[in-house]
Amino acid sequence: MPRAPAACAFCAVVAGADAHRVLDEASVVAFLDRAPLIKGHVLVVPREHVETFDDLPPALIAPLFSAVQRVSRAFGRTLGADGSYTAINTRISQSVPHVHVHVVPRRKGDGLFRAGMVWIRRRYEGDEAAQLAARLREAIAAS
């Protein structure tokens, strides 16, 4: 297993750092993005430190994307989303060098894609993130 850099923010979450987790399994962890594109935006990461999608071992692909699918499915039941947007940056625009999949709840007319794709990050207020994470955990567990 590659050794994670001491400052890897996602390895810190995997190790137990404070995050609004929605899924915690043997191979993957999923948690709310702290600056979501749309509230409910989840990051799904392998527990193992792998820098990019191109480097992801074949054995981790199925557990990673199984988790992504379950998160996406939970959006409809939990948030009333019409669908989801799923994305992976590899090197370019990859803000954390630990492979991660963005799973973003979508609604028709939500304005996520505008000319130039200038995305506005949002913030959670009060205990909104904790409540949302709990609802998503329940929906994922029930799937």
Q: How many Å apart are CA 138 and CA 32, to the nearest integer?
A: 14
Mean pLDDT within 28-57: 96
pLDDT at 121: 77
Mean pLDDT across 30-55: 96
Both tokens assigned to 112: 């996520």
116: pLDDT strictly greater than 70: no
The H-assigned helical ranges of the chain are 9-14, 58-79, 128-142
Give the CA-trace dihedral at 15, 43, 18, 75, to 10 degrees: -130
On the question of pLDDT at 120 being above 80, the answer is no
- What average pLDDT does the chain have? 92
pLDDT band at 67 (very low <50, low <70, confident <90, very high): very high
**Total-model pTM:** 0.88
Domains and CATH numbers, the chain: 9-142 (3.30.428.10)
Which residues belong to the active site?
100
The predicted pLDDT at position 113 comes to 77
